[in-house]
Amino acid sequence: MLWIGRVAVVALPEEIDVTNADTIGEDLLSALNQGAVLLVADMSKTTFCDSAGVSALVRTFRRAVAGSSGLRLVVGTPAVRRVLSLTGVDRLVDVFPSVAACLAGPYEVLSQGGQPGQQESATAKADTDGGGGA
């Protein structure tokens, strides 16, 4: 897991299926539990994701929203993009082609009660804190 300010980037494996989806879900939730205001699930190397993986992503999304955090996905393969499209996950969660693109834009830091607060940028945070972890 890579931390850039309060943004956590979690690299996911090449294949996500019933054998590892629970562990992946726990890893993603762990980042939220550690105070991430934005969680980036880096699926750029993921070539396969079954329904167990999709469920883990949806559970993480729900937990992020409940905790006033955000979730973004980085997807590099057409097969995984297709699964996210067919299941509607791409309508719940913003999907980006690269981690750089994902971190380039600002994100809302939600205040208590889920109301938009100040905007931050992971790129700006990395420039000011040397990219160090939280």
Domain extent for 43: 2-124
* Total tally of structural domains belonging to the chain: 1
CA distance 65 to 62: 5
CA distance 84 to 131: 30
Contact 37/6 with Cβ under 8 angstroms?
yes
CA distance 57 to 51: 10
Q: With a cut of 50, say whether residue 131 has pLDDT above it.
A: no
pLDDT in tens, 12-39: 999 999 999 999 999 999 999 999 999 9
CA distance 6 to 15: 27
What's 47's domain CATH number? 3.30.750.24
Q: Which residue type does 1 have?
A: M
pLDDT in tens, 82-120: 999 999 999 999 999 999 999 987 765 443 344 444 444
With respect to residue 130, please indicate whether it lies within any of the assigned structural domains: no
Residue with tokens 């100040």: 118
With respect to residue 88, please indicate whether it lies within any of the assigned structural domains: yes
CA distance 42 to 75: 7
With respect to residue 119, please indicate whether it lies within any of the assigned structural domains: yes
